[in-house]
Amino acid sequence: MTDKRIVMTTAGSVDEARRIAETLVDRKLAACVNIVPKIVSIYRWKGKVEEAEEWLLWIKTSTPFEKVRDAILEMHSYELPECLSISIEDGSPEYLKWLEDSGRTDAQNDPDSVKT
């Protein structure tokens, strides 16, 4: 078991999906976000069966789930966005290290930096 996870959410447009993905990576809350285009979601909402075309985001991160979730909720247009965390049990050591290092600040990546 690792402290790495995949966080899943959906977006109602490619523009919203890209904005969420870019912001999460820019803020170092995610190492990588895959955007899967034009999925069809069928769900029950407020007593009715609905259908929508959405974009699925696979957010790969070692950041605590709560921080990623809060950032998604801050940016999302949906009243109740999907936000699920799936633990990564194992993976290639090099990829898992990259995933962890990608979420670190520049100071955390610099072995010569002094903590104050």
Q: In a structure prediction context, what are the per-residue pLDDT tens digits for the chain, which is 116 residues long?
A: 678 999 999 999 999 999 999 999 999 999 999 999 999 999 999 999 999 999 999 999 999 999 999 999 999 999 999 999 999 999 999 999 999 999 876 545 444 433 33
CA–CA separation, 33 and 114 (whole Å): 31
Give the residue from 43, 39, 42, 50 showing the smallest Cα distance to 11.
39
Query: Residue 2 is encoded by which pair of tokens?
Result: 């690792």
CA–CA separation, 37 and 24 (whole Å): 18
Domain 5-102 fold:
Alpha-Beta Plaits (3.30.70)
The residue ranges of every structural domain in the chain are: 5-102
Query: Residue 24 is encoded by which pair of tokens?
Result: 């999460």
Burial class (CB in 10 A: 0-12, 13-18, 19+), 1: exposed
Amino acid at position 36, single letter:
V
Which residue matches tokens 């170092």? 28
Q: What is the pTM of this model?
A: 0.87
